Structure 1
Amino acid sequence: MKRRPALTTITTIATIQRQGDEMMTWQVLRTEGCCAAAKVALAASALVAGQAFAGGMLAYEIGTADVGLASAGYNARAQDASTVFTNPAGMTRLEGNQALVSGQLLWANTQYSIGSGSSPLLGSDDGGYAVGSSGWFPGGGAFLSYSVSPDLKLGFALAGNFGAPLKYNNDWAGRYYVQNTTLLGVSFLPSVAFKVNDKLSLGAGLNAMYGIYKDQVAINNPNPAFADGRLKYDDNSWGWGANLGLMYEIDEGTRIGLTWNSQVNLDFKASPQFSGLSPAVAHALDKVGLLDSQLKIGIKVPQQVMASVFTQIDPRWALLGSVGWQQWSKFGQINIGIDDTSNPVSLTTDIPFKDTWHLATGAQYRLSDPWLLNFGIAYDSGFQPNGSTVSPLMPLNTAWRFGVGGQQQLSKTSVWGLAADYIYGGTLKTNLQSTAPVAVGGRGNLIGSYDNTGTLVMSIYGNWKF
């Protein structure tokens, strides 16, 4: 690694608490007299976006037909076993027992361009493709609906739709802000649905989420004889939540779906691991207790609300739509860093994020008896408050989705399908100003952009009745 002057940066996510209508305040935990961690709140959405991106870190893409619809009709479609995840009440529409297995591959064009205002001593490495491994990362899910009776269904879903892996080159220009980080949530969802009458069905599920959090950031050593040091953080945690769903069938061809997914708390707790520190930096960190501190990070995965509609207008055409809201205003980001190794106690925070909206519309076209085509378009407003300016920790904001897909009825009991969507995020800028120059121990000014960001999602799935 390249030699740089000293600065220690711990990149984490912190919790913001709202007290009435007052200003957001940070709650910082301390261990042995020093700053050790902070908590974060990720709040509500009418969406889901995580392996890929919507207006935040939750994803609609779990490998199903909803990819080709760009999430239109997400919790009203209820045409296969994936409804266990999108709206458990929809299980009452399924015949007999059904299972669906899906897989997907995603490629994200998220590459950084260093601007002229960046500190020259940070170097010229642009970091490569930030998301996944060279831009690639997988996804998918498994879903099962079991019929106890025509009016009572049990279900189970396994899918990951929160977070994404982020990996820059170790020596990239923004290494003192982040080198790589992984924040993922995988959900295990046992569910139940009951048909109240011919029009109304209700559903509920337990969301047992397994959270994975890893973080790595470079440490700027002041001694020219030393290369960059490194800080790593790694922990796993379980969190628990509830999913509630309602489906109302206005008539035989028209239905409305409404879902609410509760917040899930993931509490991570581990000791940061330091390596490659110069003696002076190690002594300064040890003096204030940072070397032996324990970092507690509380992630609050957003609660979410969404309403969808499905209507069959004739034997060939059906129209679908969705609207949702995400309470990203409770989401905040914090960078705990040492701006001066002679006084390594400084703490910097970023302002809160904002709520977002999701809108989607789509259609299904019956091309022939075995073939059904799906189309969709969706928009998610941005959750980062400064327009197109973002943090390298989260190179995403607003998102447009364009989906297309098709599925074939192989027999009375089996269907397979392909789907794809493209998520366009536009050009995103960074403008991070350091409190001290790189030459004297600062992180440096990181100014640049992610140009024409986008993610291509390719999915395949199969659904079986038994």
Structure 2
Amino acid sequence: MCQRLAIALLMAAGLHVTDVTARPYPGFSGLAATADSAATAGNNPAGSTRLEKRAIEVEAMWFRSESKWESGFEESGDPSTSKSSSDTVVPRIFYVEPINENTAFSFTVLGAGFSDDLGDWPGRYFLREYDALYISALPSLARRLNDKWSVAGSVAITYASYEQERAVANLFDPGYGDGKSRIETDSVEFGFGLSALYEMDAATRLGIAWSSQIDATQEGKNRLSGLGPRTEEVMRNLGVLGADIEVQSQSPQSVLLGLYHEFSNRHAVTIDGAWIDFSEFRLSEFYFNGQGFLASEQKFKDILALAVSYSWPVAERWMLGIGGMVTSQMIDDEERTMSLRLDSIASLGVAAEWQWKPDYCIEASLSYMDFGDSPVSTEPIPGLGTFSGKYVSRATYLLQVSLKYGG
């Protein structure tokens, strides 16, 4: 999440006014302590007290993913290779409205999700495709306590949906092709957050933001089709047909820390560190008519992330920035499953910002992201054997384009 918008800073309680230049921060750098544009509404709402007047930022994030997956049943000795590519566009809106010199309201809409479409691959009985979506609206109220400290409280209103499709083997009907199971669920959940900004001086500030855990319980139906008569009868006896589905998932709490410092030559550096309580994350646990059917037994690891950026002016109305991010591995190789093939992440990007008009800025950034090879090996499947696979190549390109107003 990047911040870049030209604004004027009015220090509270009749203190001095200092001009601040917004900067381009590529990818996921420049988060907790920059507080120089409307994007602070999503990264650290306490920073919205620094804005002298209304600020708005509208951004489009375009993710382009290219990957090659090699997998197969170990006993067959004949792995298959599948290539996939996908494009995802995520719009984001940030809004800050100062109420008075010491108080500001902010609002942002953010989205996150995991999805994959694997087609008729060998592991289709585990998963053919899935789509987990989380969209959060984050209204916040910030208050400046003195010339150093600002604090904010936020409410997270999150819409969560989960869709999954997998093949169903007609084991009791030889000669029949695969059937299909499709689960669709959704819900609306609530969480909260706290944030603070400490301004050491006009050039240096520290930020911290905490977000609570969100437990989502989604209700829906399991739609089965293409079943043979004997297989359908077995599933009816098991109570699977027509069952009410409940999918429980969990978004973990997180803490974001950041430092911003501007040098005398107007160059600036940011350092951000994040801790995500990912050991408590649960993608999905399935309950059919109240009975557990497929519990999530993956043991995730807490995520530690580090992001840095460096920005500098190159002309009267132009700023450039470079930045990168690395994270720890999110799950051990032996714990990984087909449902969520996560690994460590590394990214590197470049950004440019142009002050189009006194109140308008345009910024674009391009980042390369590597998500690791994510090797997977499953328990043996009766009659088929052990299934394993990994990414031979896996890369994502992130293009961000934003228009900023304010200041």
TM-score by length of 2: 0.88
Equivalent residue number for residue 382 of structure 2: 436
Structure 2 spans left out of the alignment, 5+ residues: 6-21
* C-alpha contact 2:2 2:26 (8 A) present in aligned 1: no
Equivalent residue number for residue 162 of structure 2: 213
Distance 1:63 1:455 in 2: 23
Equivalent residue number for residue 135 of structure 1: 86
Equivalent residue number for residue 450 of structure 1: 391
Structure 1, residues 26-74: CA drift from partner, whole Å, max 9, x if none?
A: xxxxxxxxxxxxxxxxxxxxxxxxxxxxxxxxxx589999994343331
Equivalent residue number for residue 12 of structure 2: none
**1:286 aligns to what SS in structure 2?**
helix
Equivalent residue number for residue 149 of structure 1: 100
1:135–1:433 distance in 2 versus 1, CA, 3 Å: same
Distance 2:68 2:337 in 1: 13
* C-alpha contact 1:110 1:395 (8 A) present in aligned 2: no
Equivalent residue number for residue 321 of structure 2: 374
Equivalent residue number for residue 405 of structure 2: 464
1:336–1:254 distance in 2 versus 1, CA, 3 Å: closer
Distance 2:230 2:217 in 1: 33
1:366–1:346 distance in 2 versus 1, CA, 3 Å: closer
My pick for the range that moved more, 186-195 or 425-434, is: 425-434
**2:140 aligns to what SS in structure 1?**
strand
Which of 23, 32, 35 matches 1:75? Answer: 32
The Cα shift of 1:156 comes to 1.1
The Cα shift of 1:391 comes to 2.3
The Cα shift of 1:326 comes to 1.3
**Residue identity matched to 2:98:** S
The Cα shift of 1:314 comes to 2.1
Matched, 1:416 2:365: no
1:246–1:396 distance in 2 versus 1, CA, 3 Å: same
Distance 2:325 2:24 in 1: 11
Which of 130, 142, 150 matches 1:201? Answer: 150
Equivalent residue number for residue 103 of structure 1: 60
**Residue identity matched to 1:206:** V
Equivalent residue number for residue 49 of structure 1: none
The Cα shift of 1:448 comes to 1.9
Which of 327, 330, 349 matches 1:403? Answer: 349
The Cα shift of 1:229 comes to 0.4
Distance 2:193 2:144 in 1: 17
My pick for the range that moved more, 110-119 or 82-91, is: 110-119
- Give the number of the structure with larger relative contact order, counting CA–CA contacts within 8 Å between residues 6 or more apart: 1
* C-alpha contact 1:327 1:355 (8 A) present in aligned 2: yes
* C-alpha contact 2:356 2:362 (8 A) present in aligned 1: yes
**2:315 aligns to what SS in structure 1?**
coil
Matched, 1:159 2:110: yes
Distance 2:294 2:26 in 1: 44
1:98–1:334 distance in 2 versus 1, CA, 3 Å: closer
Map 1:347-366 onto structure 2 (within 5 A): 350-366=297-313
Q: Percent identity?
A: 23
Distance 1:62 1:164 in 2: 24
* C-alpha contact 1:118 1:447 (8 A) present in aligned 2: no
Equivalent residue number for residue 233 of structure 2: 283
Equivalent residue number for residue 85 of structure 1: 42
1:432–1:335 distance in 2 versus 1, CA, 3 Å: farther
Structure 1, residues 46-103: CA drift from partner, whole Å, max 9, x if none?
A: xxxxxxxxxxxxxx58999999434333111111101101010110111200110000
Structure 1 spans left out of the alignment, 5+ residues: 1-59, 338-344, 439-443
Distance 2:69 2:75 in 1: 12
1:407–1:346 distance in 2 versus 1, CA, 3 Å: closer
Higher strand share: 2
**Residue identity matched to 2:232:** A
1:289–1:428 distance in 2 versus 1, CA, 3 Å: same
Runs of 4+ in 1 over 6 A off after TM superposition: 61-67, 333-337
1:105–1:175 distance in 2 versus 1, CA, 3 Å: same
1:350–1:266 distance in 2 versus 1, CA, 3 Å: closer
Equivalent residue number for residue 22 of structure 1: none
Structure 1, residues 123-170: CA drift from partner, whole Å, max 9, x if none?
A: 9764542xxxx321111301111111121111111120x32221111x
Distance 2:124 2:34 in 1: 44
* C-alpha contact 1:334 1:350 (8 A) present in aligned 2: no
Equivalent residue number for residue 18 of structure 1: none
My pick for the range that moved more, 102-111 or 66-75, is: 66-75
* C-alpha contact 2:298 2:336 (8 A) present in aligned 1: no
TM-score by length of 1: 0.77
**1:104 aligns to what SS in structure 2?**
strand
Map 1:15-414 onto structure 2 (within 5 A): 60=1, 68-115=25-72, 117=74, 119=76, 126-129=81-84, 134-160=85-111, 162-169=112-119, 171-222=120-171, 223-332=173-282, 350-386=297-333, 390-414=336-360
- The two structures, once aligned, show a CA RMSD in angstroms of 2.6
Distance 1:451 1:329 in 2: 27
